[in-house]
């Protein structure tokens, strides 16, 4: 399963309630279910979630836990304060205008003592794609900013979240998006080279050797994503008492 967030590092445990904000097809939802968590996925794109929702519920039933998805907005999460033990928000912040407001909402629904993982594309890879063509940033629904991790860490801090560390992911995917940008992004799927590399990525996902090469080498040379891991201080409990 292709995951951006390291679920072990996020310390997901059986029985915890996890929110995957911007869940897409639910890859992190499925990963968290396998670790015994109770899972809620949320995304604006109803069509993307439609089939995944059924699969998440079915897998949750098989694992004797709970899981589901709903349509919703990260700027107005339909949950009470301090609801979730763990929160994931993967590859969302580069798409939204007021990422600070989105981070505040994620913090609001996180329990004191809870942990959160937020992922964004690396600035290096984004600048590379931009040099190869404007389509990567001008396509509908595309990225509207190039982040530096410090900017995201500062937004997390303003929302009351303490960044504890960072990780990198998807070193194999950076060449893929370079190739797509070179081959003219809007029509890249017509390229035999792009299709061949995509097939290679699918096969590499199930290869222990390629997984090791990506995690130990490529993620430090050409990562596509950076992940910030943060926590909500327990002091909030005492402050509320």
pLDDT in tens, 100-139: 999 999 999 999 999 999 999 999 998 888 888 767 676 6
Is 198's pLDDT higher than 50?
Answer: yes
> What is the share, in percent, of the chain residues with pLDDT greater than 90?
76
Q: Any idea which of 192-196, 197-201, 204-208 has the lowest mean pLDDT? A: 204-208
Q: What is the pTM of this model?
A: 0.91
Which DSSP symbol is given to 88? E
- Rounded distance between C-alpha atoms, residue 114 and residue 135, angstroms: 38
Residue ranges in 72-141 assigned as alpha helix (H): 99-109, 123-132, 135-138
- Rounded distance between C-alpha atoms, residue 157 and residue 159, angstroms: 5
DSSP-derived 3-state class of residue 112: strand
Q: What phi and psi, each to the nearest 5 degrees, are found at residue 26?
A: 90, 25
Task: Evaluate the CA torsion angle 9, 13, 16, 17 in order and state its sign.
Answer: positive
The token pair at 72 is 């919703």
The two beta strands, 225-231 and 110-121, are antiparallel
pLDDT at residue 181 in the model: 87
Domains, the chain: 17-235 (3.40.50.150)
pLDDT at residue 241 in the model: 43
> What is the share, in percent, of the chain residues with pLDDT greater than 70?
93
Cα dihedral 206/211/214/216 (nearest 10): 180
Q: List the beta bridge partners of residue 84.
A: 110
- Rounded distance between C-alpha atoms, residue 159 and residue 161, angstroms: 6
Q: How many CB atoms lie within 10 A of CB 58?
A: 11
């Amino acid at each position: 399963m292709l995951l951006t967030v390291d679920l072990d590092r996020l310390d997901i445990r059986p029985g915890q309630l996890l929110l995957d904000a911007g869940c897409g097809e639910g890859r992190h939802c499925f990963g968290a279910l396998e670790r015994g968590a109770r899972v809620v996925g949320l995304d604006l794109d109803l069509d993307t979630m439609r089939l995944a929702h059924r699969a998440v519920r079915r897998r949750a039933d098989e694992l004797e836990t709970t899981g589901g998805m709903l349509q919703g907005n990260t700027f107005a999460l339909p949950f009470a304060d301090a609801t979730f033990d763990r929160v994931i928000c993967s590859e969302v912040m580069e798409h939204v205008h007021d990422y600070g407001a989105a981070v505040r909402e994620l913090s609001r629904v996180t329990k004191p003592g809870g942990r959160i993982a937020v992922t964004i594309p690396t600035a290096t890879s984004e600048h590379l794609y931009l040099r190869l063509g404007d389509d990567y940033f001008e396509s509908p629904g595309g990225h509207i900013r190039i982040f530096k991790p410090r900017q995201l860490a500062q937004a997390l801090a303003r929302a009351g979240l303490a960044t504890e560390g960072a990780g990198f992911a998807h070193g194999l995917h950076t060449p893929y998006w370079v190739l797509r940008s070179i081959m003219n992004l809007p029509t890249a799927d017509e390229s035999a080279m792009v299709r061949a590399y995509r097939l290679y990525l699918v096969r590499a996902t199930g290869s222990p050797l390629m997984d090791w090469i990506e995690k130990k080498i490529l993620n430090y040379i050409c990562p596509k994503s950076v992940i910030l891991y943060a926590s909500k201080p327990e002091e909030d409990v005492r402050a509320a008492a």
